Amino acid sequence: MIIDGQADFRSLLTHHLSTHWPDAIITDYDPIAGGHLPDEFSGAGNDIILLGNEQGDREGVDVIKKFLKRPGFPALVYFGHRKEAGVALDRGVDGYFLRDDVSHDVLIVRLSDILVARRRVSSTGSLFVGDKAAGINPLIKGYQLIRKLASSSHSALYLAERESTGVKMVLKVLQQIPDVNDESIGAFDRFLQEYELIAEIEHPNIVKIYDLGVADDHAHIAMEYLDGGDLRQRITEGIIASVAVMYLRQIASALAKVHEVGILHRDLKPGNIMLRKDNSIALIDFGLAKRLRLRMEITDSGEIFGTPYYMSPEQGHGEVVDERSDIYSLGVIFYEMLTGDKPYQSETAMGIIYKHARAPVPLLPARFAEYQSLLNMMLAKEPENRLQSAAEVGEWL
């Protein structure tokens, strides 16, 4: 049920809901034209109430208090102005949105999260309920999960099969959809951004993205299944120089395309570089990517996003970064592909960051001497002394 005094706003919310839930029964009420709902209004028969702050001669936050004092009132989501957020949350709303800044994907995911949380008997935080050889009864409609590939604090990767076509693909699933005051909102924003950025690009060395979906209480990205393992594994097995150069060309070509459309990767590492069975490279995981106009993010806890082993000196010190930071990371990877070792190591992350900024560029073994000048140009401490574009890597080779 939608309660707000502005018809256009009620229509907007109805459109968002009916687009995702075409079978939903949606009612709306105008408290200005129809008068305020009676004191005995309990919300019965509704799964969720969407309350706007246009309530005529009453303050929206006062209506919240009136509604939520009734036992068993449905989930209540409030749409107001920024100054009302604190009061609305203190009064116990299940979710809060800025009235003038409602994103479809964020709205649907958060409403799904609220609805499922209300239905769940237990709150395990799991992506799946039930258990069949490690808990797979998916809430992701349209996909049959095969096995878990990897997980992090914010997301998990699953090999899955699309039921309609039988095609294998990878689902990247956000583990927790944040409520409005959840500290993981940044992770959710980066998750959605990952899809939006990659979907703009068509390149043989960039993973193909098929779909962004919202299923029950989780968002997911459906992407190409890359069945050749990752570059990290290939480095462990050992890479001959000619193959390392081939991989370098392909990664640099993908980066050039990424940079061309105004994107930085900012987390380039062997674990984010996958291979197909034909031995071609595919760049993945743009979760830390940012438009060039945006500055590097550092969390409130001081965490620097990225992996210290592959960070440029400027990224490690929280300075503004550009394409040349990705080129530095690629230089680190090239060194590791040739030698099997990382160029800088330390017992602490800060020790590694210090060496990236201060230690000399490492020398390659004599058998790889022909690539030393290229490595010097990729791992220069100052960005202006590096190759200035990813395309230059291929040109130099």
Domains of the chain: 2-102 (3.40.50.2300), 143-224 (3.30.200.20), 231-396 (1.10.510.10)
Counting every residue, how long is the chain?
397
The pLDDT value recorded for residue 5 is 94
267 is catalytic: yes
The pLDDT value recorded for residue 364 is 96
Q: Which of 105, 217, 267, 326 is catalytic?
A: 267
CB 312 within 8 A of CB 322: no
Residues 6+ apart with CB under 8 A from 107: 16, 97
Strand pairing report for 218-224 and 168-174: antiparallel
Residue ranges in the chain assigned as alpha helix (H): 7-20, 60-68, 85-90, 104-119, 185-199, 231-237, 241-260, 313-316, 323-339, 349-358, 372-378, 391-396
Consecutive 10-residue averages of pLDDT for the chain (397 residues): 92 86 84 87 87 93 90 91 88 89 84 75 34 42 80 73 88 63 54 71 90 69 87 92 96 92 85 90 74 40 59 85 93 96 86 91 95 96 94 92
* Nearest residue to 327 via CA among 273, 260, 380: 380
The pLDDT value recorded for residue 293 is 40
CA 270 to chain centre: 19
